[in-house]
A = this chain, B = another copy of it.
Amino acid sequence: MKAAILLAHGSSDPNWLAPFDQLLARIRQQLDDDTHVRLAYMELAQPTLAEQVAELVTTGAHHIDVLPLFFAAGRHLRRDVPAMIEDLMRRHPSVTIELHAPVGLEPEVSAAISQVVTRQLQP
């Protein structure tokens, strides 16, 4: 079974978190799968990455893709999250966890951002 975790930064403000739930719902609908794709926050909110990895391992996951819902890869994705993943693989030796590139760097996403901004700024 292939499992995935969408990883967002997290915030103490529930208003910040709400759109990520909507995004998860949309992705699950597109995939027609509501159990193997989870959402986790790196900090300041729950569920955490550790909680979601533990649950997915319990349901039999051997490989987990971690897809960062970040605009770019800074200190968090280059240092903090890899350290978390290394620790989680030590705690759960049956699972491989693979960290992907941030979704914001994908051409479709940056194209959509520049289209939206261009439209907002055109007279």
Interface residues of A (CB under 8 A from B): 2, 4, 6, 8, 11-13, 15-20, 22-23, 26-27, 30-31, 37, 65, 67, 69, 71-75, 78, 100, 103-106, 108-118, 120-123
Contacts and interface: CB of A to CB of B under 8 A. Distances in A.
Nearest to A120: B67
Contacts of A22: 110
Q: Is chain A's interface secondary structure helix, strand, loop, or mixed overall? A: helix
A123 B26 CA distance: 18
B12 A75 contact: yes
Given A27-B118, A27-B121, A71-B71, 17 more contacts: A2-B123, A8-B71, A11-B74, A16-B71, A16-B72, A16-B73, A16-B75, A19-B104, A26-B110, A27-B114, A27-B117, A31-B121, A65-B121, A103-B116, A108-B116, A109-B109, A109-B116
Chain copies in complex? 2
Contact of A13 (B15, B78, B103): B78
Nearest to A4: B121
B13 A74 contact: yes
